[in-house]
Structure formats: structure tokens, C-alpha cells
Structure 1
Amino acid sequence: MRVNGYELTYCSNIHPGETWLAVFANLQRYLPAIKQEVSPAAPFGIGLRLSNQASIELAETEGALAELQRWLQARDCYVFTLNGFPYGEFHDQAVKDRVHVPDWGSAERLDYTRRLFALLAALLPDGAEGGISTSPLSYKYWHNESQANELKQQASLQLAEVAAYLHELGRESGKDLHLDIEPEPDGLLENTYDVIDYYRNWLIPVGGRHLQSQYQMTPETAERCLRDRIRLCYDICHFAVVHEAPRETLSCLEEAGIRIGKVQISAALKARLENDVEQNQRMKTLLQPFAESVYLHQVVARDTAGAKTAWPDLADALESLQSGGPAREEEWRTHFHVPVFLAEYGSLASTQQDIIDTLDYLREKRLCRHLEVETYTWNVLPQDLQMNVKDAIVRELNWVRQRLPKHEKNLKSDQ
């Protein structure tokens, strides 16, 4: 829905489904009911997640895309952003680090992304801006330093191909299209430093030379093409987990000339650990239900001196408490998307304040148009946090919408 000049939606990766029939069935089940509650009298935009399989079926099944277009038009809905990060299965089985397969060193990732953009260009309303979020190149534990550099080299060449494709697609369609890299804890790109280093030392020089040699662009045009078409998806939870403050991160990215294509509104799990064996055992009991088997839940602890300790999964972090816990008081932040409308629940908390700080920053600097709530963990949350999925989505969208007017000046709401 359009609120104060923003496109606000939720990501449909909340709903299980890897085939197009399953995805469409979920849209039919949930979307009209959600729209009726949050945007009954105005168009409602969708953040659509398509697996590789679903994208092939939608693109190649005769009449499928036309049927979707008719269905959307009849219900006053439209698609403006896609989630192109998870390529394969994303629910009901162990995903863990496989969420990064295939990575940006592979032709499969390039083919999948191009296919998604062809679909988005067909679905996007005339004159609208469209974006697709994608993986942070790869999973860092798969590579030593030499291998990581080889991957960055190959990824830069493939992302340059995406940029050239979007440049031409935009010229043909008149639509502003961009790919949004999504940094994540333990991704090859996981923090501000990684992102700026990658743009400065890999994407712009390597991708730029490729565009100059293969597409006869000038150096200036090649750099502009890369910066316009390859942007960043700022997932608030992900940056919160690595203890990066929104204002610092966003201002550094802006100074480096890195554009934000989409802000994913999400909150991480937060807990306080002390140098107290009994207290830490109680905290371990509270955290244990979040150590589930489907997704990676990376943990980054920071102590009172500012030193950080990281674990690849919550189960690994909890094992460290067997020895009694930290020598200093620590704040643990866990990559587990918890409801954005909760700041605290019992002795646990969330990084909700980072969402509020991000919206505060967007009041001052309009970095992007696309805002997408992404709490995809409803079916694996501890029982006391679970609720009806439709009601949860509505509550999250309303929570964000109620704060957007406070963070926008001189813009009239579209509703």
C-alpha cells in the first residue's frame, strides 16, 4: 500500500510453497483478506517470493502469467518487489546455510535472477519502480580468502550482466528496475565495511571494465549503470545482529554512493547474559525454543568493553553456556525474525528500536521507496509467540504504518 510516498508491503515468503500453484493458492487465500483490513479502498502492493521452480512454472506455463495479471487487476493489487534470495525450499525442512545455494559464482543464480526480472517487468505497473532482493554473494564459511576473492570476481562479472540486462529492459519498458544485494550475518557480505569494500574494490572496477568491453559503455556510464541497477537491500534485523546502528550504517553507505533499493523491516531476538551461572542457565532455558532446525540463527554477542563473539547458529552459542557463560556482561543478538510490534516479551527483547531509528533516518533522508515487512518465522516461533498468520501480517503492517506519518514531512499520504 502507498503511505506517504512509500510502497509498504509484507514479503510472501511467510507462506510455505515452492511451486507456482502453491504460491498462487496462498495469494488467493491471504491477500484479499489482508488488503480488506489494511487497504480496502486503495491499491495494495505485494512483495512476492518465487522459488526457482515457481518462477519457471509461472514463466513457462501457458496462460499462468496472464491469469495472475487478471487476478491482481480484479482485486486492485499489484507487484512491485520480489524476494530472489532463497532459490529452493524455504519451509518445513532444514534450510540452514543451503539458503545461499546457488551463490553468485554460479550461472544458475544469474539465470534465476534474469527470469525474475522478466516476470517483474511484466507485472510492474507502468511508470513504477521495481526491485528484487538477492543473496549476499555467498556464505563466508564456504571459502578461504583466495576462494572468496575468486567468488567476488565472478560475482562482479555476473552482477554487471544483470546491470546491463536491467539497463536495456528499463529502456524498453520505461520501468526503473534494480537488484538489491541483501547483507546477512555470515554472508560473504555481512556488514557496512564488507559492502563498501565490495563496491569499491570489486563491483565498480571489475564490473565496470566488463560493461566497457562487452557493452561499449564509457567508464562514467558503466559506473552509473552499476550504482543505479545494483543497490542494497537494508534488512534491519541483519544489521542489528552485527551490532551496527542504522544511522551510522545508512550515512556511511550514502557517503560511499551505494543506493538503497529496499528496506526490509524486521527485528532480531535480543538477550542479556551476565557473569552469573544460575542467571545464564535461566536465559538458556528461555532461548532454547528459538534454536529450531529449519533456519540458521546466527548469534553475535558484544560485551561491555565492545568486544564481539560470533557463533554460526544459536545452538552453538547455547553450548558455550555449559561452562558458565561470559566473563563480562554481554548482549546477545540472534538472527531470528521476531514480531516487529514487540519490544520485549518476558526476560527477552527485540531490536525493535533499530526499526524506529531507521524510520527516523528515513524522515530526514529519503533513501528508497520500498518498505517490506519480513517476519517469515511464524511457523517456527515458540508457541507463546505464535498467532494467526493473517492477523499477524495485518498487525505488523499497521504497526509500521502508524509510525510512517511521524517520519515523513511535506508528503501527502496516498490513502
Structure 2
Amino acid sequence: MRFRHRDGSTVHVGYCATVHPADDLDGVIADLDGCARRVRVELDVPVLGIGLWLASPVADRLANSPSSLNKLRRSLTRNHLEVVTLNGIPHAHFTDQVVGTKVFCPDWTEPERLRYTLDLVDVLAELLPADASYGSISTLPLAWRVPWSKARDAAARKALDGVEQHLARTETRTGRRIRIAVEPEPGCVLEMIGQAAAWLSRYSSPNVGTSRIGLGLDTCHLAVQFEEPADAFETLWRAGVDVVKGQLAVAPTLVDPSDAAGRYALGQLGTPKYLRQVREWGGPGVDDVAQAYELSGHSAWRMHAHVPAHTAPPPPLSATTLALEDCLTRLVGGGHPLTHHLESEVYAWPRPPKTKQQLAKRIAKELRWLRDRLTGLGLQAID
């Protein structure tokens, strides 16, 4: 979907394809022809944005095979889909039975991460619509927090400096501006907005919205950490760090962890396939809900599971919908948008969909909710 902001610029809105991951090109195209097409039809919009996830072998193939790239482009065209952003966090094996911390491997200290990201830059430069002001690629917040050292930090810095140089060359060669969105996540080297802002300040630009490397603001991750949107945006502004992309979902909250029924309901959300980090307000956290018994239980818990905003989680759980709405207002509700890329990333449904058709309907409902909030902020849907 596309929206016209009051300043005349275009805000692109779509959903993240990691909700139906495919690890080969034929699988990616099958999901575009199936699920993504159904979502667009359900919404009845002329064009729908989709944030593709391309496993490393697929990205390598597309970056080096014009015929493969044209095959993907034809699928996007016939289904009236556009790609302005890619999810470059999972490198491969995202369809494994258990992903866990493997999603952060290889990390930014390893050459495979750099090669993968450069392939994604080259692919997105080819897929990006001609009238899009820029393309964005989400990437991981350096690495899982252990092991980490000054030497590893320096290696990560060198790699991302190399990416910045490649982005500049790509813009000169193709005229397309691609930007990297580093996405803080609980448990990683950069898990809080303040940490990310300090690390990314090196890439700040005197002109807002022009830095090649900035932040990917995930509203679920921010809420899990009990970070206040007002404080987060103030920190980013002071550091001069751009929000390249907004990743949108809410996190489940258990206000009273002593409630056995609530702890059970929390554990049923999402899947053990992915990390479900839990944070306790004012206290520590654990890397998975299965370890939540280690927490004191004296204050509210929030869990890393991207749940929808359009429907409430099962009681007695609540959701961080107000934090999401606050972030949306700050991102696009002002005189100028802080980002032009908004992407829904929901995968932890209260009742898991059994078919791709059911999944498409759920995604469409979430995007309708988002559309209503954006029009309420004064944005105008573009027909």
C-alpha cells in the first residue's frame, strides 16, 4: 500500500514475508503467487508492498543471474506487488525446525554476513520501483551478545563501513539509494535504543533522512524492553540517527506473573522454533519463556512474540498496542515522516492459521488496522 503524507512524500506500507519463509526461489515465487496475491485482493489495493526474505543462496543467485531476477520480477508484476525493503536478518536455515540463536549467524564479524548483505543491496537496487525515494534492508544488531569483545566490535565496524562504501558506489552506478536498517533486539549486542544510537551515531548525516546506515525501529522489540517511545525518539534525535524503517507489531504482556493461567497463556503464544525472550519490568530478563521461572514475578512480564494489534491476545494477557500507536504517531504523524517504510511483521497469532488462505486473511486484517491508524494520522491512501 502507498500513502501520501501531508508533505507530499510517499510512505510505503507492506508486510514481512518471513511469516511464510521459503528457502529457494521457486518457493518465494509460489508464496507471491499464493499468499501475497490473496492479501492484496483481500485489501483491494492497486499495489501491495512485501518485504522479501531471500535466503543467502537465493540472494546470491539473484545477484548473479539476470534470468532468475527477471523470473522474480515477473511474479511481482503479475501480482501487483512492490519491493522497497528486504529482511536481511536471517541468513539461511530460517525454515529449520528450531532456529533459536542461529538467526544471528553468521554475525557481523564474519565475512559471510557481509557477502550476503552486499548481494541483497545489488538485488534491491534492481527490484526497487523507479519512483521509490530509497530502498531499505533490515540487518541484525551486530550479533548475539555472547561472545563479544573489542576485537569483534572492531571487525563488525569494519564490515559495516565496507557496506556504507558499497552503498555509495551502488547509488553512483544505478542512481538507486539503498539504506541499511540495524534492528535492536533483546539479547543482542545492541538490544536497547540507547546502545544502538551510540553505535550508529558514526553514520549520522547533517541532513535528516539521508544517512546510508541507520536504525530499524521494531515496535515489538522496543516494547519488550519496556522502553518508552518518547525517550527512544529523543535519544535517536540527539545522536543524529535516522529511522530507516519501522517494523510493526505488538508484544504480549502479563501484568501479574503470579497468575498460573497467565503464564500458561504466555507460553502458548508463538513457537519454540524462535527465541521468545522475556523481560520483567524494572528487573532482569531471560532468553526464552521456558526460563521465566528464574524471574521474580513481582512485576509485569513482556515476551518477544510479534502478535497482531487488530485483535487482543487471550486473557489475562494484554498487548503493547498503545506503544505501537505512539511510535506510528512519531514516525509519520508530524510535518515530515521520519521514515518512508512501514512494515507489518506479525507471526504469533492467538490461533495459528492452518492454511495459506487463512494466513492471508489474518495479514489483511492487520494491514486494515494499520491503514485505519495511518489515515487517522492524516495520511491519504493512494489509489
Does residue 84 in structure 1 map to residue 88 in structure 2?
Answer: yes
1:412 Cα deviation after fit: 4.3
1:20 Cα deviation after fit: 1.4
Which residue does the alignment assign to 1:290?
A: 269
Which residue does the alignment assign to 1:350?
A: 319
1:224 Cα deviation after fit: 7.9
Task: State the alpha-carbon separation in 1 of the partners of residues 327 and 340 from structure 2.
Answer: 13
1:366 Cα deviation after fit: 1.5
Name the SS of the counterpart of 1:3 in structure 2: strand
Name the SS of the counterpart of 2:255 in structure 1: strand
1:16 Cα deviation after fit: 2.8
Task: State the alpha-carbon separation in 1 of the partners of residues 270 and 246 from structure 2.
Answer: 26
1:61 Cα deviation after fit: 4.8
1:293 Cα deviation after fit: 2.2
Which residue does the alignment assign to 2:105?
A: 101
1:227 Cα deviation after fit: 6.8
Which residue does the alignment assign to 1:320?
A: 294
Task: State the alpha-carbon separation in 1 of the partners of residues 40 and 313 from structure 2.
Answer: 28
Alignment of 1:18-33 (within 5 A): 18-33=23-38
From 223, 232, 235, the counterpart of 1:249: 232
Q: Which runs of 5+ in 2 are unaligned?
A: 5-9
Which residue does the alignment assign to 2:7?
A: none
Cα separation, partners in 2 of 1:292 and 1:71, compared to 1, 3 Å: closer
Cα separation, partners in 2 of 1:291 and 1:70, compared to 1, 3 Å: closer
1:288 Cα deviation after fit: 2.9
Preserved contact between residue 20 and residue 55 of structure 1 (Cα < 8 Å): no
Does residue 414 in structure 1 map to residue 378 in structure 2?
Answer: no
1:384 Cα deviation after fit: 9.4
Cα separation, partners in 2 of 1:225 and 1:8, compared to 1, 3 Å: closer
Q: Which has the higher helix share?
A: 1
Does residue 35 in structure 1 map to residue 44 in structure 2?
Answer: no
Deviations 1:116-169 (A, max 9, x none): 1100001112242100000000000333xxx2x222211111111111111111
Preserved contact between residue 270 and residue 305 of structure 2 (Cα < 8 Å): no
Which residue does the alignment assign to 1:372?
A: 343
Does residue 198 in structure 1 map to residue 173 in structure 2?
Answer: no
- Normalising by structure 1, what TM-score? 0.84
User: Bigger CA drift: 74-83 or 174-183?
Assistant: 74-83
Alignment of 1:120-131 (within 5 A): 120-128=124-132, 129-131=134-136
Preserved contact between residue 227 and residue 258 of structure 1 (Cα < 8 Å): no
Task: State the alpha-carbon separation in 1 of the partners of residues 251 and 291 from structure 2.
Answer: 17
Cα separation, partners in 2 of 1:384 and 1:18, compared to 1, 3 Å: closer
Cα separation, partners in 2 of 1:32 and 1:226, compared to 1, 3 Å: closer
- What amino acid sits opposite 1:400 in the alignment? L
Task: State the alpha-carbon separation in 2 of the partners of residues 400 and 28 from structure 1.
Answer: 23
Name the SS of the counterpart of 2:300 in structure 1: strand
Preserved contact between residue 209 and residue 242 of structure 2 (Cα < 8 Å): no
Deviations 1:260-288 (A, max 9, x none): 110000111110125xxxx5323222223
Cα separation, partners in 2 of 1:407 and 1:32, compared to 1, 3 Å: same
1:26 Cα deviation after fit: 0.9
Q: Which runs of 5+ in 1 are unaligned?
A: 205-219
Task: State the alpha-carbon separation in 2 of the partners of residues 355 and 52 from structure 1.
Answer: 31
Task: State the alpha-carbon separation in 2 of the partners of residues 150 and 39 from structure 1.
Answer: 51
1:291 Cα deviation after fit: 7.1
Count of aligned residue pairs for this structure pair? 374
Preserved contact between residue 215 and residue 241 of structure 2 (Cα < 8 Å): yes
Cα separation, partners in 2 of 1:196 and 1:32, compared to 1, 3 Å: closer
1:60 Cα deviation after fit: 4.0
Deviations 1:202-260 (A, max 9, x none): x45xxxxxxxxxxxxxxx99x98997110110000001111001122012202211001
User: Bigger CA drift: 185-194 or 65-74?
Assistant: 65-74
1:22 Cα deviation after fit: 1.1
Name the SS of the counterpart of 1:105 in structure 2: coil
From 329, 332, 335, the counterpart of 2:301: 332
Task: State the alpha-carbon separation in 2 of the partners of residues 291 and 354 from structure 1.
Answer: 20
Does residue 299 in structure 1 map to residue 278 in structure 2?
Answer: yes
CA RMSD in angstroms, aligned pairs only: 2.5
Deviations 1:55-80 (A, max 9, x none): 12333456211122223223332211
Does residue 55 in structure 1 map to residue 56 in structure 2?
Answer: no
Preserved contact between residue 343 and residue 351 of structure 1 (Cα < 8 Å): no
Which residue does the alignment assign to 1:267?
A: 250
Task: State the alpha-carbon separation in 2 of the partners of residues 288 and 74 from structure 1.
Answer: 40
Name the SS of the counterpart of 1:133 in structure 2: strand
Deviations 1:26-65 (A, max 9, x none): 111112221122243x222221111112212333456211
Preserved contact between residue 102 and residue 109 of structure 1 (Cα < 8 Å): yes
Task: State the alpha-carbon separation in 1 of the partners of residues 127 and 171 from structure 2.
Answer: 14
- What amino acid sits opposite 2:91 in the alignment? Y
Does residue 174 in structure 1 map to residue 175 in structure 2?
Answer: yes
Deviations 1:70-126 (A, max 9, x none): 232233322110000011122351111111000000110000000011000011122
Preserved contact between residue 276 and residue 304 of structure 2 (Cα < 8 Å): yes
Deviations 1:339-371 (A, max 9, x none): 221344321111111111111223125200000
- What amino acid sits opposite 2:107 in the alignment? D
Task: State the alpha-carbon separation in 2 of the partners of residues 377 and 159 from structure 1.
Answer: 31
Percent identity reads 31
Deviations 1:298-342 (A, max 9, x none): 11101xxxx22211111001x337xxx53x3x1101001112213
Name the SS of the counterpart of 2:284 in structure 1: strand
